[in-house]
Amino acid sequence: MEERIPDGNNLISLLDYIIKHSRKPIPEDLASISQNAGVIHYFNNQNQDRAAIARLCYLVYDTADPVVQKYHSHTILKPEIRYFAIYQLVKKYLREIKFGNITLKVATLPEQVSQKIFALPDYQFGNNHRLSVRGTKGTTQVTLDQLGRKRLELLSSPKAGMYVQEPFDRQYLLLPQTVGDSFGSKFVQDLTKTVSIRSENRGREKKVSKCVVEYET
């Protein structure tokens, strides 16, 4: 591994730099890497050259990808496990958060509200198309567990589509600079494409005017 990274006033190998700045004990995947491991280069959104150890790069799948879709439900923690994990996180890290001279305190127990049950209203789409879980006459009727998928299907359908057919006004997207410097451009590209597809009107794609604002965290 010939790649060397500035660290203070010295230049050290990429591997040594990662080990030095990683949590301890270092993960097994990192500990098993040799000094002659392969290195890949990429450019961030500021066109700056960056390096990464190839063995530490992993393919990431979207949860809707067919490769992982059938396993996604197994990754969702049960409510009681999530509740305990949140409690531990708040207790350990969020007891006293300081903003200048102001100290914020986060309650360790969540706010409790009385349970309310309500019937979902019908959904109105373009071309006077309606979707209902209430059995309303003259609508496309679905069960509650089918609602999300059918709603997305109708938004993409030329027979229905969005209820409001006028072009979008300029849209503002706020992104942390860390996101903008990494996968931000791809995220904006995918989001713009998705919104443009959803806003098709009788086969004519509407352009989405956007302004991306990055802020430091």
Task: Please report, rounded to a whole number, the percentage of residues in the chain having pLDDT higher than 70.
Answer: 93
Q: State the Cα–Cα distance between residues 158 and 197, nearest whole angstrom.
A: 11
**Quick check: 61 and 67 in contact, CB under 8 A?**
yes
Query: Given a cut of 60, is residue 105 above it in pLDDT?
Result: yes
Region 75-96: what's the mean pLDDT?
A: 88
pLDDT for the residue 5: 85
Q: State the Cα–Cα distance between residues 195 and 210, nearest whole angstrom.
A: 11
pLDDT band for position 199 (50/70/90)? low
pLDDT for the residue 53: 92
pLDDT for the residue 189: 87
Query: Given a cut of 70, is residue 203 above it in pLDDT?
Result: no
Q: State the Cα–Cα distance between residues 135 and 139, nearest whole angstrom.
A: 8
Query: Given a cut of 90, is residue 177 above it in pLDDT?
Result: no
pLDDT for the residue 129: 93
pLDDT for the residue 202: 43
pLDDT for the residue 217: 63
pLDDT for the residue 81: 92
50 Cβ contact list (under 8 Å, min separation 6): 41, 42, 43, 44
Mean pLDDT of the chain: 84
Task: Please report, rounded to a whole number, the percentage of residues in the chain having pLDDT higher than 90.
Answer: 23
Q: Higher-confidence residue: 108 or 188?
A: 188
